[in-house]
Amino acid sequence: MKAVILIFSEIKMSLNRDALIAVFLLLICAVMFVASMNLPAAMFGQMSPALWPRIILVPLTLLSALLLIKSQRMPIEPLAHSSEPTSGWWEQNKIPIICFALFFLFLSTMPVAGMLLGGLLYVFLTLCVLGGWERRKLLLHAAISLVFVVGMWAIFTQLLGVLLPEGELLRVY
């Protein structure tokens, strides 16, 4: 155990952002290489389905390794050694993450709520998350959601003839 700790302390690999990206990319390359082994070999004198991905993976692996080496020559970012790295990160990315979560909810509930109801709820909630929950704003956000979502739904279904998902709640047949 002591030997392992000694090796790691000797390596002193600085875990800055680029190093983590490079390691992640190398992992992706490894997974894809292994997956490409399961693809069929070349047939009828044609190119194998695995050839093109491998042509991409070879330089990608090399460049990822280069990024890892380059990252070790960079000064260590304060982020890597901060005592509270997660709180700052969360504050910086809170709004986009909530928006993505709302979009995920919108897509997950699509079979039930459909594009119209789901869209109304999604736009309203996104507006409130981004703009605030005060009573006056709630009315404004509700009006914006209603006008734009119903408007767009009408344009796409009535004008352009697109069959948008109705959802089980509004299904008439």
Partner 1 sequence: MGLFENLATAAPELFTIKTMILMMIGTMAGLVAGAIPGFTIAMAVVLVLPFTFSMSPVEGLATMIAVYVGGLSGGLMSGILTGIPGTPSSVATTFDGYPMARSGKPGLALGIGVWSSFFGGVIASVVLMVVAPQLALIGLEFQPVDYFSLILFALTVTASMAGDQILKGLIAALLGLLISTVGSDVVFGLPRFTFGVDAAAQGFAFLPVLVGLFAFSRLLGDVRTSEKAHQRLGGDEAHAVHIDYLGSAREVLRRWGNVVRSSLIGVFVGVLPAAGSTISNILAYDQAKKTSKESDKFGKGAIDGIIAPESANNATAGGALIVMMALGLPGDIMTAIMLGALLIHDVIPSPSFITDEPQIAYSIFLAFFVANFMMLFMQSFTLRAFVHVTKVKMYMLTAVILFYCSVGIFSLNNVTYDMWTLFIFGIIGFVIRALGFPIVPMVLGVVLGGIAEARLSQVFARSDDVLVFISRPWSLFFLLLGCFSLLFPYYQKHMKTAPWARFFVPALLIVQSVPVFMMPGVVRPSVALIMVVTGGVMLAYRLKYRNAAPANE
Residue 169: DSSP 8-state: T
Q: Are 36 and 53 in contact (CB under 8 A)?
A: yes
Window 34-63: residues binding partner 1 (CB under 8 A): 35-36, 39-40, 43, 45-47, 49, 51-53, 55-57, 59-60, 63
Give, to the nearest 10 degrees, the angle between helix 51-72 and helix 17-37. 160
Q: Are 164 and 156 in contact (CB under 8 A)?
A: yes
Entry field: residues in the chain = 173
Does 78 interact with partner 1 (rule: CB under 8 A)? no
Does 149 interact with partner 1 (rule: CB under 8 A)? yes
Number of residues that bind partner 1 (CB under 8 A): 57
Structure tokens at 86: 């997660």
Q: Which residues bind to partner 1, rule: CB under 8 A? A: 17, 21, 25, 32, 35-36, 39-40, 43, 45-47, 49, 51-53, 55-57, 59-60, 63-64, 66-67, 70, 92-93, 95-96, 99-100, 103-104, 106-107, 110, 115, 119, 122-123, 126-127, 130-131, 144, 148-149, 152-153, 156, 160-165
